[in-house]
Structure 1
């Protein structure tokens, strides 16, 4: 991986690099922590010479408006931007998927699949409940305590 020098990042911050170099530097920032550190140092050093926002409150709104405009147009160098109109195939639209899901649900409901699944599930649950007839921990402790007390009573009775 190629790392960029502090001077290159300083030129980037001062906006003294070509468009191609700017794109390379920006994409490199996503993958390199070392270069990100150099970039942040360059920004900190040149912070006083960077432009000041005149209206900070509406800045976010302006940026978001610009982003939404970018989504609407194709990015072509030296060509007027054209609106993008992409038509999806019928099977790629959400309405098609909803119709298929509704049809499958109705088919399974009227054919009795859901009813048989519910019956099967309750039967399985009932058999498992019968198999798992284990006493609770409290019942076990109580049973052992009474057995111990009974054995003590028998010992006392045998001593007399």
Structure 2
């Protein structure tokens, strides 16, 4: 893992680096405690050069007002996006289309034929059991032996 020096963190605090490098530094802070310590030291050293808040409670109220303005702008934007959709992209059109297709299939008898086909598949089919070749050979052998026994009985 690449660690950044204290001087590099000072440049970060002073905002003397490019946006790409700044992003790399911020991502690195999530995983490295050593660099986080350097960053906090750099912040403490340059704390005097950072802007001072004159009224902290007023600042919080201003930030919260801006947040609510931004969220209301986003909700208005989403409402406009919903109204700008063409009719064929709206959910109600899709529900209507599905209902129409269902009615068409129902009245044309497709569902009835499917139900008939399904019941035919479910019904047990009686199949005549075909004797195996071995059983056929055994039956013929016994029949031949019986015929031999009858011929011998007739001779006596």
Q: Flag the structure with larger Rg.
A: 2
- TM-score w.r.t. the length of structure 1 is 0.41
Relative contact order higher in (CA < 8 Å, ≥ 6 apart): 2
- TM-score w.r.t. the length of structure 2 is 0.41
